[in-house]
A and B are shown apart, each in its own frame.
Chain A
Amino acid sequence: QKEVEQNSGPLSVPEGAIASLNCTYSDRVSQSFFWYRQYSGKSPELIMSIYSNGDKEDGRFTAQLNKASQYVSLLIRDSQPSDSATYLCAVKDTGRRALTFGSGTRLQVQP
């Protein structure tokens, strides 16, 4: 069974700070990685996808991928209270067209 690991948190940061969310995965040949944001009681929303080693920036979000270390992270700059949510990391399975999700990290941004 492929695994995707995340610290459940909560990760608490002050408003305006950088929030750093981390994810490790077990399948070393995985090629596609995703970050989803899930507000309480709602469905997940895709915020970033990353396929190559290095950084990918989109507004206040930066995804970082290191395939050698089997590690993917999400940085949120200038964190806002509206960023308070659970962030799910997902990895595309090899051998089937499906994703494996981590259990999520709960982020709390304190005003």
Chain B
Amino acid sequence: DGGITQSPKYLFRKEGQNVTLSCEQNLNHDAMYWYRQDPGQGLRLIYYSQIVNDFQKGDIAEGYSVSREKKESFPLTVTSAQKNPTAFYLCASSITETRTYEQYFGPGTRLTVT
């Protein structure tokens, strides 16, 4: 089965701790994305990557970091510098060569920091 997996589904951390969210895809998509969603709001872009070993900041990158060492994987680290880390985090991927830009989402990780 092809798809995008995110783990864990729920994550609880204490303030001041870094935490890494996993995102893996077996769709052979080149591009991967991380979004954050707060209650009642749309998705805001954190980071995106079009190719292995390259990534760009999105609109709200402060306090986050990413890596793209493998095509299948795009982990997101929420650092202690992120002021309001509690949110629903969504990973997505897309094909780039067709230029349709359709993005497909994983199930998400709900992070709670207290």
Contacts and interface: CB of A to CB of B under 8 A. Distances in A.
B32 to A, nearest CB: 11
B101 A44 contact: no
B90 A98 contact: no
B73 interface: no
Contacts, number: 54
Given A97-B50, A97-B101, A98-B48, A104 B42 contact: yes
B2 interface: no
Q: Interface residue tally of chain B, by bracket?
A: 20 to 34
Contacts of A32: 100-101
A97 B42 contact: no
A8 B101 CA distance: 25
B58 interface: yes
Q: 9 closest A-B pairs (Cβ-Cβ)? A: A103-B42, A101-B42, A43-B105, A101-B43, A43-B108, A92-B101, A32-B101, A44-B105, A43-B107
30 contacts: A4-B42, A8-B40, A32-B100, A32-B101, A42-B107, A43-B90, A43-B107, A44-B90, A44-B105, A45-B105, A46-B102, A46-B103, A49-B102, A51-B100, A88-B42, A90-B103, A96-B56, A97-B48, A97-B50, A98-B58, A99-B101, A99-B103, A100-B45, A101-B35, A101-B42, A101-B43, A101-B44, A102-B42, A104-B41, A104-B42
